Structure 1
């Protein structure tokens, strides 16, 4: 199981500024375009909570400025809140990339702490269309309600809208988000990776955005480290 600290520590000029922590492959949703192919049958992998704390400490020691908790759905991991707290104690910024399908009332206080921000995905202003992409009935209503709650609480939030279906109401979705008070919105197309890969094709680096690896590294649930 490899971790960030294997081998000599990178120099300050090569150390990533952001380290993504893919702490789980589990997710309540099973989005049709998910590059990680996450879903209800996903697992938390080989990394323990102690392993993840050590990775966060290593990231801070290397000079990283931010960690991003991703998945899967990071809040399905039993130690996610503990990991956020640990990162904040090391003066790292934290982004929690959540589907915002299920946020327990007690979690809002943690998410509202200074240094924490949220990110999520959104697909349509119509429940039927949004839920067809997530494959989970009710996901539109829950995610929309939690986006509104995050905005009301003043929690920094960015939202990505991915065009998945022909004629998808992405423009209307953007307008709805703006009406809710979301100011950071990015729109993208489906990347033919993971669950959205074309049949019989392997990984195609041309499908990447070309920006995701700049100044970043990622640690997978297996402990493997990847970096563009």
Structure 2
């Protein structure tokens, strides 16, 4: 390593290993958002969460737990009043940070300067259309398209590692090809999402927004690292196995790293098949995890949205 006259401590951070096997985490820094997308799984998007002291404690717990990769999401994370300080602290604690954003704040110089100074490992931006009329209708915010387009252009020009998530719903499906062309014209990687989930509150008002011709069949669920090497934190520092299986959860602010010792047991309990899924003859090739199936069941969603029996 060429240190160019610098001390090794200026370029290399050594961290102690965590007591468990957690290396990845996601953090909803705040559920508030400046968009009001028709298909948003968050439902009511409240501006609430930890103050900055609480955020510092939570990030310290994540560091002590061994988290190396941290995904900061929301709501819209860039509108959180403490985002800049929390993001910079995560970097200083030695985490590789991915930010999930709608891009609406990237046209602001102070935000772009922050990300240019402390480049995210990945900046994943959601795209909701290819024209102002469609974009503003899907997000239910006038001017959303202009803010996104300006922010996207700024992020690309700044050399940030941008990924795009193309969210395809009834209201923008006619622009799917134009969305793909836009991403390709910028030389950006993109993935498409068309399978919409119920809200985290167990309601189904989001599901009619799905565009039937773009729905995809998920691969059979064969397990995941949720609650084992990965965990999720909500805006109050409550850790759960993932953003779908939110309960039971662990208050990391009150319990610290030691509380995570219970997460593996919670994961095992949430993966047990119960109710209508117990004894299912197709369980070996089920395409959704048990927590996701439960969300669909609570929302009284059509069986075809999540279960093979509804596809027969």
Range into which the TM-score falls when normalised by the shorter chain: 0.7 to 0.9
- Scaled by the length of structure 2, the TM-score of the pair is 0.60
- Counterpart Cα distance in 1 of 2:136 and 2:176: 14
Q: Which residue of 2 aligns with 1:106?
A: 110
Q: Which residue of 2 aligns with 1:19?
A: 25
Spell out the pairing of 1:196-211 with structure 2 (5 A cutoff). Answer: 197-198=203-204
Spell out the pairing of 1:1-228 with structure 2 (5 A cutoff). Answer: 11-13=19-21, 15=22, 17-37=23-43, 39=45, 42-45=46-49, 47-103=50-106, 104-116=108-120, 117-165=122-170, 167-182=173-188, 184-194=189-199, 197-198=203-204, 213=226, 215-228=229-242
Shift of 1:31: 0.6
Are the equivalent residues in 2 in contact too, given 1:24–1:77 (CA < 8 A)?
yes
Are the equivalent residues in 1 in contact too, given 2:32–2:47 (CA < 8 A)?
yes
Q: Alpha-carbon deviations, 1:176-219, whole Å to 9, x = none?
A: 1221232x2110113232189535x9xxxxx9996694843211
- Counterpart Cα distance in 1 of 2:25 and 2:44: 20
SS at match of 1:106: helix
- Counterpart Cα distance in 2 of 1:10 and 1:154: 33
Q: Any unmatched runs of 5+ in structure 2?
A: 1-16, 208-216, 243-312
Shift of 1:147: 0.7
Task: Name the CA shift for 1:197/1:179 in 2 (closer, same or farther; >3 Å).
Answer: farther
Q: Which residue of 2 aligns with 1:5?
A: none
Shift of 1:122: 0.3
Shift of 1:107: 1.5
Aligned alpha-carbon RMSD (Å): 2.8
Are the equivalent residues in 2 in contact too, given 1:99–1:143 (CA < 8 A)?
yes
SS at match of 2:35: coil
SS at match of 2:98: strand
SS at match of 1:144: helix
SS at match of 1:30: coil
- Counterpart Cα distance in 2 of 1:213 and 1:154: 32
Q: Which residue of 2 aligns with 1:204?
A: none
- Counterpart Cα distance in 1 of 2:153 and 2:203: 33
Shift of 1:124: 1.8
- Counterpart Cα distance in 1 of 2:144 and 2:89: 30
Q: Which residue of 1 aligns with 2:285?
A: none
For CA contacts below 8 A with separation 6 or more, give which structure has more relative contact order. 1
- Relative to its length, the structure with more strand (as a share) is 1
- Scaled by the length of structure 1, the TM-score of the pair is 0.80
- Counterpart Cα distance in 1 of 2:199 and 2:239: 18
Task: Name the CA shift for 1:38/1:24 in 2 (closer, same or farther; >3 Å).
Answer: farther
How many pairs align?
208
Are the equivalent residues in 1 in contact too, given 2:119–2:160 (CA < 8 A)?
no
